[in-house]
Amino acid sequence: MAASIIDSSIFGNIFSTDAMREVWSDRNRTKHYVAIERALAVVQGRLGIIPQEAADEIIGNCHIDKIDMDRLREQTERIGYPVLGVVTQINQLCRDKLGEFVHWGATTQDITDTATVMQIREGLEIIDGELAAISAALVSLSKRYRDTPVIGRSNLQQAIPVTFGFKTASILAGIERHRERLAQLRPRVLMGEFGGACGTLASIETGAMETQAGLMEELGLAQPDIAWHTVRDTIAEVGAFLGLVGGSLGKIAMDVKLMMQHEVAEVYEPFAPGRGSSSTMPQKRNPISSCYIHAAVSVVRQHSAALMDAMIADHERSTGPWEIEWIALPESFCLLAGALKQTRFVLEGLEVDEGNMRANIDLTKGLVMSEAVMMGLGTYIGREYAHDLVYDLCRQAIKTDRPLLDILAEHPEINVHLDRAALAKLCDPANYLGQAGVMVDKVLARAAAVK
């Protein structure tokens, strides 16, 4: 019976995905163990390190369907590691004791680490695809709303206008950096392990490095320069990457939650009948996906720290830190997959209310244009004096609940330099968007250049 939220029959496809659960499943992990033992026999038979007859017999019995998973569970509980159980089962499947040559010169951690790297490779493929889809959704939003004014906010207060395309393009730029990071880390991370007891391959008298090279070629992994049994920076780097991606997804969720508030009502998660409704308040439309994203990525970030803690390993083979990875890495991948799926759902179907965006800009009756007025007036009376004057007039506008434009137009120190028409131009949000469009175009061009 599933006890984890990831494997829950109720919550599982909210917090994760079938595809990522399959990557980190017992069966898939064991399948990789078997595939590595098979590849090792292929290479060592070819090199003459083990008899070709033994290699052929091992190869013929290295298939996941031949592994008794219930027996493997019992063996693992007794031994402490699953690899020896797999080796024993393969050995016993082979005729005439030819299976004694399986796992020749390897150690448990070699097989375990290499299988983990193969799972990481599969998991990163899924993440890469989801990031590409999220990027495409952000590109579409950034193009559509390139010039749509929306209030920018600082310390949760209205600041100055930006555009909604600027908001989405800012996030898009971060997603594109994640895609670049992913491409950069693959050559470092997708590196197998085959070093024997303490990493020196002392158990193979001749052909040790050739075996290592051939094994990695068979598996499509990079050959390490030296054993990394207790030097875990590459695994921690994966965890850090997952945490960074999660942080960006959390930023998206946070903004969507805030913009869905009734008092703001600028964007909404996609509508589905009953989705986000309350058991007691029929009027509610809760930000369901954003809530799940927030929860999932918060745990992923904690797991990133745990994977860094696992780097502090003792000597050449560690006592405990390694096992942290067995807990944190699968959960990180599975939870991030769920957050990516939810984010993609939100962005691909995001409902945008341009009318409310404009209404919120006008909510303060022009106060959000005070910086534009200050800068325009500063040419005539000095920036600092203009700041203090406009500040006082803003307080007056708030106190009297009048439009800032009316108060500005009446002031003798202002109307001597700027008439009402000129002030109205300064108070128009569409005239104070700076280089937002230029910046959006730069981000879109960079995204378009990524294959």
User: Which CATH number characterizes residue 40's domain?
Assistant: 1.10.275.10
Domain total for the chain? 2
**Domain membership flag for residue 144:** no
What CATH number is attached to the domain comprising 408?
A: 1.10.40.30
Q: What is the DSSP string of 357-370?
A: HHHHHGGGTTGGGH
**Is residue 77 situated within a structural domain?**
yes
Average pLDDT over residues 398-427: 92
**Residue 278 clears pLDDT 70, i.e. is over it:** no
CB environment 189-212: b (16+ within 10 A), e (fewer): bbbbbbbbbebebeebeebbeebb
Q: DSSP letter at 315?
A: S
Classify residue 388: in a domain, yes or no. yes
**The domain boundary residue, chosen from 226, 243, 273:** 226
Cα 40 to Cα 344: distance, rounded to the nearest angstrom:
40
428 has pLDDT over 70: yes
Q: Is there a domain that residue 91 lies in?
A: yes
Instruction: Provide the annotated active-site residues.
Output: 278, 317
Any idea which of 82-91, 203-212, 409-418 has the lowest mean pLDDT?
409-418
Determine, yes or no, domain membership for 279: no
Tell me, yes or no, whether 75 lies in a domain: yes
Question: CA-based diameter of the chain, in Å?
Answer: 106
Per residue in 217-234, pLDDT (tens digit) is 999 999 999 999 999 999
Q: Decide if 449 is inside a domain.
A: no
Report if residue 158 sits inside a domain.
Answer: no
Q: Which domain holds residue 412?
A: 364-436
Side-chain-side CA neighbours of 351 within 13 Å: the count stands at 11
pLDDT band at 402 (very low <50, low <70, confident <90, very high): very high
Q: Give the predicted TM-score (pTM) of the model.
A: 0.94
Q: What is the DSSP letter of 411?
A: -
> Which residue bears the tokens 């029959």?
9
Q: Which residues sit opposite 162 in a β-bridge? A: 150
Instruction: Give 260-274 pLDDT, tens digit per residue.
Output: 999 999 999 998 776
CA distance linking residue 221 with residue 100, whole number of Å: 26
Closest C-alpha to 125, from 17, 35, 4: 17
